[in-house]
Structure 1
């Protein structure tokens, strides 16, 4: 993903937290947060990033949003969507109409009951052109959403859309909180109200977010009463605070694992993911317009060297965005390390080595800047590794490690990108590679290929699984022949968790370990 994420949550034990909600202009007061070690029922998560808004329809966030909000569906331990707020659903024979019956008595955190109108409002708002939702392409096949009555919702599609149930895991927001208000700028985005296991209490900008257990939550819960998301961009500080017990859970870098594993109070989880790292080619830049140049750079990368030297074995070589998906096509060009082929492609493309070893064509050097977020150790090391590898084929690469706030991905020559979804193959695929997503979407490299467009559209609107597999195979084959990215590695998600925490259930995770907290409401703190 290319946006900063708020990553996590907290809960208190022997603390008395008083929260008073008055409609949607909720007011809240809370006692000060104690250290994790001070209270047996408080969980503190050391988060990498802080987002600007807490609203599931405006920004994708697989952490805090999942704790504050719940959707019609929820992913289970196998990443299969199962009914959550929905009690049941039926699908018409033509696969164009989905009818959902809602559970009765589901309450928002302001004690109002969730009704069908809230579901309709949520989905229609995502599709509203006036709403600045980055998720629009995920829902573009929805034609209409109707409230049949208070507890029945009808979703009507333009065309068959197998990923729909995945998309309906989106958190439901309360319609009554936005009467006469602009969703993009509403106070709700800073003081959210959902139906999830934890309710919002306080957001101390730049420091932390505090949530508390929602007593009227309809599901099963553990003993965590207070959930704190503590923003710590520096991975070394996160590791230190994990060691001292100031935080209970943190995402780790590979270089930290061996030291953390020696601690008596921390367990390290090494979880499989669909999370890949790659170099994005910005197709607006002249250097990448020749496909043979892009192929040359793909052959110039020793991926095993990165797995061994940077990931320290906690990952694998990458060649496709669907490599971990059931629709993976292994029969595509994987661009194994081959400097001879790389040099040959550059020579045939007219790039000749100069006296300084750097290739030149039409008076211009083969040079570009590769940008990476400096708070991400793996990405920075990968960028430096890419640069050293590419020097061997006569390219001069400057690595620019910047704060996220200073990065505009669509303006970079190339960017060390991270994406990955363990869900339906449409997720994090259509929105990255389809040409309709170049302006305003997540196709930041302005990649455009008519064959890719056609294959992706057919794959998302075909119900027969064998047909979908065929179209996704065609997509991957064409993407390999006309690369948008130089795929590098898939990562294992590495999490340090205080041993006083129990109930963690592992499953295949998404980008930056998204999903690790999928059942956190059932965790216990001893």
Structure 2
């Protein structure tokens, strides 16, 4: 009898283990908020581009994993010289692009020579400023690429992990790469049904043996939160990857058919000023608007408590974070005094337009609640203008044709954007640029964090934006989905290791 029980127990344990082993095949459909205008993040800005293609379709020399760690990708390893000026990468061998061509060192050289070309019209590359420290790129042999820097840059590996650093075939026309990117990732870009979805299919020649598990992944454009909930319940969707409405999270958490997650993220909901446009070039006005914003009320009212109050451009989970959440704390009387000092009163109010992108429910509800707070103050009359996200990208992000807006900045380490006076906030502070340069050139982590902490404090003192909160990675998926990455410490919705319990 004892042997029988032991044998039965072993059978059950083995059976349970087999039941939870990764299973191959199947397809899932994931809801994302927006339909980007293109799918190459080296040419076009937009978080949903990276969520779909980063490490799923396109890859770089290194990548950020779901924990936010920088790990090998197309480079199997690397070394950094003692001077911090030379980065040597050993490339993976036998890797092929989805079109069957070989990935070689020449693709790396072509990519980064294009990326650092300051003539963006000629290169088609978004951010040459990221690569200005590169003095030279060479390939001493087919498996090695060497970057020589003009000066040390503590962010260089992070820059290589950004979506702008993803690599495609060097002969691929940029116009074709925009709409159907070819990369080396576990999935190939199989189709784009405009207005509906994009489809990824398993790459049978992927260099990591055994991956991916899924045959197909569909990313469906569905920005309406209630439509997402209905689609998940009806079985039309398998995952709401992010921006699950807080009230819908409460509903789904009561249903055993679904799993709700609230993971770590590096997303700041930033109510940004055009710092170059009067009167927002006046620190008194910017500070007054910050003081008139009740962040605690926004978190509890608009987000049902999901969100963490912040006071500068950094999320609590990031290195060198400084808690400035109570800096410029809610004080409507002081806000009125500063506005009066700047010439704005109830009789002569400051009137401006607050731009919102229609597809982002968190930012819309936070922005609408914030505008309601500002309009209660008296000396402010704020009008909301809602556009689609592609119009927002063109008008606000690209042309800086706006007064104030709010958007979620999901990229890690994006404090650096304030060092670029041409970025859409148009913040031009020589002191901030000096501090950020000190951070980049610092000889050790302690000195780097000291400089970055001072930079965060300066942003708060200048009220260069209203950093309302750090947003959660709030989503849900059907219970049969396994190994779903709950956090957003990477630019991607990483699906290579996701599988479906049959």
TM-score bracket, normalised by the shorter chain, equals 0.7 to 0.9
Cα 1:168–1:406 shift into 2, 3 Å? closer
User: 2:502 aligned with 1:524, yes or no?
Assistant: no
- How much does 1:319 deviate? 0.6
Q: What's 2:10 paired with?
A: none
Within 5 A, what are the aligned runs for 1:412-491?
412-422=402-412, 425=413, 428-430=414-416, 432-436=417-421, 438=422, 443-491=423-471
Q: Is the 8 A contact 2:26 2:500 kept in 1?
A: yes
- How much does 1:222 deviate? 4.6
Q: Is the 8 A contact 2:473 2:488 kept in 1?
A: no
| Residues in 1 aligned to 2:213 and 2:285: alpha-carbon distance in whole angstroms | 56
Q: What's 2:125 paired with?
A: 133
SS at match of 1:337: coil
Q: 1:30-77 CA distances to partner (integer Å, 9 max, x unpaired)?
A: xxxxxxxxx960011112112222224223532222210122112234
Q: Is the 8 A contact 1:303 1:337 kept in 2?
A: yes
* Aligned residue among 32, 38, 63 for 1:53: 38
- How much does 1:85 deviate? 1.6
SS at match of 1:497: strand
SS at match of 2:136: strand
Q: What's 2:181 paired with?
A: 192
- How much does 1:497 deviate? 0.9
SS at match of 2:327: coil
Higher helix share: 2
Cα 1:71–1:507 shift into 2, 3 Å? same
Q: What's 2:371 paired with?
A: 387
Cα 1:253–1:333 shift into 2, 3 Å? closer
Deviates further, 104-113 or 39-48 = 39-48
SS at match of 2:100: coil
Q: Which runs of 5+ in 2 are unaligned?
A: 1-23
Q: 1:196-234 CA distances to partner (integer Å, 9 max, x unpaired)?
A: 000122222222211111111112425311111222232
* Aligned residue among 128, 135, 142 for 2:134: 142
| Residues in 2 aligned to 1:331 and 1:64: alpha-carbon distance in whole angstroms | 33
Within 5 A, what are the aligned runs for 1:124-523?
124-128=113-117, 129=119, 130-169=122-161, 170-178=165-173, 183=174, 185=175, 187-219=176-208, 220-250=210-240, 251=242, 252-324=244-316, 325-330=318-323, 334-354=327-347, 360=348, 365-394=349-378, 395-407=380-392, 408-409=395-396, 410-422=400-412, 425=413, 428-430=414-416, 432-436=417-421, 438=422, 443-509=423-489, 514-515=491-492, 517-518=493-494, 520-523=495-498
SS at match of 1:202: strand
- How much does 1:332 deviate? 8.3
Q: What's 2:112 paired with?
A: 123
SS at match of 2:296: helix
- How much does 1:98 deviate? 0.8
SS at match of 2:265: coil
Q: Which runs of 5+ in 1 are unaligned?
A: 1-38, 355-359
Provide the alpha-carbon RMSD of the alignment: 2.0
SS at match of 1:175: coil
Q: Is the 8 A contact 1:235 1:375 kept in 2?
A: no
How many residue pairs match? The answer is: 458
SS at match of 1:411: coil
| Residues in 2 aligned to 1:91 and 1:435: alpha-carbon distance in whole angstroms | 27
SS at match of 2:50: coil
* Aligned residue among 83, 91, 94 for 1:102: 91
Q: 1:400-424 CA distances to partner (integer Å, 9 max, x unpaired)?
A: 22222443211112111321433xx
Cα 1:40–1:72 shift into 2, 3 Å? closer
| Residues in 2 aligned to 1:345 and 1:68: alpha-carbon distance in whole angstroms | 51
Cα 1:175–1:40 shift into 2, 3 Å? closer
Deviates further, 98-107 or 377-386 = 377-386
User: 2:55 aligned with 1:71, yes or no?
Assistant: no
- How much does 1:348 deviate? 2.9
Q: Is the 8 A contact 2:87 2:147 kept in 1?
A: yes
Q: 1:355-374 CA distances to partner (integer Å, 9 max, x unpaired)?
A: xxxxx2xxxx3111111112
Cα 1:161–1:391 shift into 2, 3 Å? same
- How much does 1:105 deviate? 0.9
- How much does 1:261 deviate? 2.3
Q: 1:172-218 CA distances to partner (integer Å, 9 max, x unpaired)?
A: 2111334xxxx3x2x23222211100012222222221111111111
TM norm structure 2: 0.86
SS at match of 1:146: strand
